[in-house]
Amino acid sequence: MESSPDLDPNKDDLPLCANTNHMLVRHYVLDLAVYIQRKVIAGSIVLFLEPGLGSSKQCESGCASNTQDQSQVSTKHDINSPITPEHKRLIPPEEPPYLIGGMDVGSEDESEEFTLVLDCCDLVVSRVEELDVTTVLDLKKLDVNEQDVYAGLVQRLVSMPSSCWRTQHELYLQCSRSSNIVNTQPLQFHMDRWSLQIRKKGVRTPHDFPCAVRIWYETKPTGGSVRWTKDQDGRCCVYTMGSPINNRALFPCQEPPVAMSTWQACVRAPCDFTVLMSGENQAFPEPAETGFQQWDYYVTMPMPASTFTIAVGQWLEAEVKVTNYVDDKLSLPLDSGDEEYICSHMDYPCRFMVGPARVQTVIPHRVFAPSCHLQKAQDMVLPLLPLCLTAAHSVLGVHPFPRLDVLIVPSGFSSLGMASPHIVFLSQSVLTGERNLCGARLCHEIAHSWFGLAIGARDWTEEWISEGFATYLEDVFWSHVQKLGCREAEEQRQLKALLRWRRLSDELQNSEEELQVLRPNKENTGEVSESGASVVKHALNPEKPFMQVHYLKGYFLLKFLADQIGEEKFLQFFKVFVGKFHGQLILSQDFLQMLLDAFPAMSSQGIALETIFSDWLDTPEMPEWLRDECSEWLRTPAVQEVKGEVAKWIHFSGSGGKGSKRKRAGPKVNFKELNPEQLVLLLEFLLEECNLSASTLRLLQSTYNLQAQDAEVKHRWCELAVKHKHTAAYRDVELFLIHDQAMGVYLYGELMVQEDARQQALARRCLSIIKDDMDQSARTVVEEMIL
């Protein structure tokens, strides 16, 4: 990526600045403390680096800016008087983001010096140090090239085989605590809006750049990667909320997904707080400095930095009714001659090659929640988890990750769920009504363990690889959990397909065409600059997080493909694909070409890679197959049953409009009981009616007890109340907007568009109550509607 002025953060596209082709981070060691009062996370991060594939060339400087507006520049302390921070020393609050005597790296002739570019935003960096790993005695025992001991030691360390990962992590930790190199030129750094650039004077190639670098920094309370807020009990907490900028406001990192790395973290938090992270180990707190406890997490599977997750709060753990421990035998390797999988990924301790892990249907799991939701989480989430995990294992095989925590996050969370390695965030919205919404959402997030995490998209614009697959598998897993017969399962899936088709149709009519394309970079998908930098199209558009086109259109593409070869064969192929590609990054064509090769008969049906691209991935249009198929879904028994009930309600509304007739009409109507998905469809059909009487709406509410249904049903009920100005249900609308923020964004627009003073006042009142705790993208979208 060529040097350019600071990119405007208000633009849609997100720059990935890191020059990963020149230098790769192989491992991060984080040493951080959480300061609740100041709302900052402060400490250090150590990067262990390795020259990349493009490092032999004269390197460009990535995203480095030649302008110095709003920049921060620094060197480390006086080289003649080195100051090595003691372990656990934190950045002094009064220390400025630049140091007196520091050299502005933009003011020199820097054209021939190599620059390490890291993705970074909203951080206060105080200094950057080159570590002297030669002082680590255990590391010096490694066999290295004597011509370059320093680089050789780090290279040997990052290249240790996965069988030695415990020793490797211990050496990483010792190195992270080593002193900075004395009597050398200082490391210089510069910050712009989106990146941190680091240089060492006189160093012109990645091969000569320091291999172990420590960065001292702290986050900002307003940083875009973590949310400081209050939980449902009114207590302070902080968590990574799935920001479009990922973790670059939590720590300097390499954002491009190809920068796969491992990490270990020591996090200190006040004693009454629990630290949950995306580490593979179950951490237990140990005493730290006065008033703090220390939590240590790690991962051994290299993954993009965007998958790093943390949540710190006064969460409580739901009680487990049955023993939920990992079998010691899981550490045993796969028996020779018993190999179902051949790993093609980089070397790490892979569960796919551990014999007992292959038959472990339920991995150890825990559920956390604020105290006010603990009982609901225990009653709803905890019993469903082993069922959903078992269903997933029966379809896809080995669980890629060894454990799972589930956390009920604060009400301002902007979606129903978010999956990271070893941890899932769930919205409180899944805790109401029957178990369908909660169970289906758990299945969706668990599916991400395979698609989205163990197998990731090499180009972030191809979100459908993650979300489309998880949406498709959600239905498969959930029908397994419900133990439905083939006919029942198919009926349920057709009903859900119809609901999704209606949602997709609505979204395609009410969104920008550019946001509707699943492969916006088309034939350039996956391409990066010479340095490895790139841009993620539309990533910063505030409306994008609330769009579902990648979920829905991706789901329908998979449903289309399954219809061509049969679902059973399709799911068997999924398992084979996972076996081949786990631990790797893919593009659409990797999956599609392997599928076409496995089922050559598809080509005789006119299905080829090019036609899938043109019909499904590279166009905003609704595919012809989908338009034809929806008419079939309308004829299914479950949908016909709903249509029959809709006719009753319309007749009731028309015949019960006046006086005693209305009173007589009520008791004569016999309404059938409907499941939650049928209820959603019923309410959507009724939303198409121009007029529904107040008595109809009252009976509708009482018949189905709508205010006690799940959030999907309540959402449609609120839309009905708004459309027909049913003032008796305005309290339901208010409660929905406050407590179901993950789903209520566009309901604000419906309240405003009616131009009804009472409805507009309701919208403004709800916004004023929750705006400080809202997701920033949600707040931006809602404020544009209202203000």
CB atoms within 10 A of CB 735: 14
CB-neighbour burial class of residue 566 (10 A; exposed 0-12, middle 13-18, buried 19+): exposed
CA dist., res. 569 & res. 59, Å (int): 48
Average pLDDT estimate for 90-98: 36
Confidence band, pLDDT 50/70/90 cuts, at residue 340: low
Phi/psi for 552 (5° steps) reads -80, -50
Which positions ≥6 away from 614 have C-beta within 8 Å? none
pLDDT at 66: 32
Q: Are strands 236-240 and 310-313 parallel, antiparallel or unpaired?
A: antiparallel
pLDDT tens per residue across span 613-623 = 999 999 999 99
3-state helix, strand, coil in the chain (%, to 5): 40, 15, 40
Confidence band, pLDDT 50/70/90 cuts, at residue 148: low
* Residue 438: both structure tokens together: 């909660």
Nearest CA to 113 out of 22, 47, 25 is that of 22
CA dist., res. 201 & res. 184, Å (int): 9
pLDDT at 543: 82
* Residue 204: both structure tokens together: 């012109």
Q: Where are the alpha helices (DSSP H) in 49-107?
A: none
Nearest CA to 113 out of 190, 193, 216, 219 is that of 190
The percentage of the chain sitting over the pLDDT mark of 90, rounded to a whole number, equals 75
Q: How far is CA 263 from CA 27, 158, 178, in A?
A: 5, 12, 17
Average pLDDT estimate for 574-589: 96
Confidence band, pLDDT 50/70/90 cuts, at residue 82: very low
DSSP state of 311: E
Contact (Cβ atoms closer than 8 angstroms) between residue 17 and residue 195: yes
Torsion angle, alpha carbons of 594, 599, 600, 604, to 10 = -120
Which residue do the tokens 């009731």 mark? 652
Residue 86 has pLDDT above 50, yes or no: no
Grouping H, G, I as helix, E, B as strand and the rest as coil, residue 287 is strand
Residue 667 has pLDDT above 90, yes or no: no
Taking only Cα atoms into account, the Rg of the chain, rounded to an integer number of angstroms, comes to 28
Contact (Cβ atoms closer than 8 angstroms) between residue 187 and residue 198: yes
Helices then strands, each counted (H, E), the chain: 24, 24
CA dist., res. 178 & res. 201, Å (int): 22
Average pLDDT estimate for 358-379: 97
The residue that leads in pLDDT, 551 or 656, is 551
pLDDT tens per residue across span 229-253 = 999 999 999 999 888 899 999 999 9
Which residue do the tokens 């910050």 mark? 191
Nearest CA to 522 out of 626, 623, 609 is that of 609
Q: What is the 3-state secondary structure (H, E, C) of 580-609?
A: HHCCEEECHHHHHHHHHHHCCHHHHCCCCH
pLDDT tens per residue across span 18-75 = 999 999 999 999 999 999 999 999 999 999 999 987 665 444 444 433 332 332 333 3
Q: Name the β-bridge partners of 316.
A: 369
CB atoms within 10 A of CB 631: 8
Grouping H, G, I as helix, E, B as strand and the rest as coil, residue 188 is strand
Residue type, position 515, single letter: L
Confidence band, pLDDT 50/70/90 cuts, at residue 545: confident
Residue type, position 19, single letter: N
CA dist., res. 614 & res. 557, Å (int): 12
CA dist., res. 127 & res. 29, Å (int): 16
* Residue 59: both structure tokens together: 């390197």
Contact (Cβ atoms closer than 8 angstroms) between residue 541 and residue 31: no
CA dist., res. 782 & res. 136, Å (int): 54
Range with lowest mean pLDDT among 332-346, 382-396, 654-668, 683-697: 654-668
Range with lowest mean pLDDT among 22-36, 169-183, 260-274, 675-689: 169-183
What b-and-e string marks burial along 49-59, b requiring 16 or more CB atoms within 10 Å of the CB?
bbbbebbeeeb
CA dist., res. 519 & res. 517, Å (int): 6
pLDDT at 142: 80
pLDDT at 144: 62
CA dist., res. 26 & res. 49, Å (int): 6
What b-and-e string marks burial along 484-499, b requiring 16 or more CB atoms within 10 Å of the CB?
eeeeebebbbbbbbbb
Q: Which domains does the chain have, with CATH numbers?
A: 14-303 (2.60.40.1730), 315-511+547-633 (1.10.390.10), 637-786 (1.25.40.320)
The residue that leads in pLDDT, 1 or 175, is 175
What element of type H or E holds 750?
A: helix 745-753
pLDDT tens per residue across span 678-698 = 999 999 999 999 999 999 999
The percentage of the chain sitting over the pLDDT mark of 70, rounded to a whole number, equals 86
What pTM, to 2 d.p., does this model score?
Answer: 0.90
Q: How far is CA 107 from CA 18, 66, 67, 285, in A?
A: 22, 9, 9, 47
Range with lowest mean pLDDT among 365-369, 375-379, 533-537: 533-537
* Residue 34: both structure tokens together: 């959480």
Give the side-chain half-sphere CA count within 13 A for 212. Answer: 28
Range with lowest mean pLDDT among 85-94, 479-488, 662-671: 85-94
Q: Considering the candidates 130, 445, 463, 645, report the single residue annotated as catalytic.
A: 445
Nearest CA to 228 out of 214, 213, 238 is that of 238
pLDDT tens per residue across span 200-210 = 999 999 999 99
Confidence band, pLDDT 50/70/90 cuts, at residue 152: confident
DSSP codes joined into one string, 1-57 = ----SPPPTTSS-EEE---TTTEEEEEEEEEEEEETTTTEEEEEEEEEEEE-TTTTS
Average pLDDT estimate for 538-561: 92
pLDDT tens per residue across span 764-778 = 999 999 999 998 889
Contact (Cβ atoms closer than 8 angstroms) between residue 226 and residue 241: yes
- Annotation marks residue 445 as catalytic: yes
Average pLDDT estimate for 488-500: 96
Confidence band, pLDDT 50/70/90 cuts, at residue 110: low
Contact (Cβ atoms closer than 8 angstroms) between residue 43 and residue 95: no
pLDDT at 147: 62
Sheet holding 187-191, edge to edge: 72-74, 187-191, 195-200, 116-119
pLDDT at 56: 56
DSSP codes joined into one string, 75-130 = --S-TTS---PPTT----TT--SS-TT---GGGS--TTS--EEEE--SEEEEEEEE
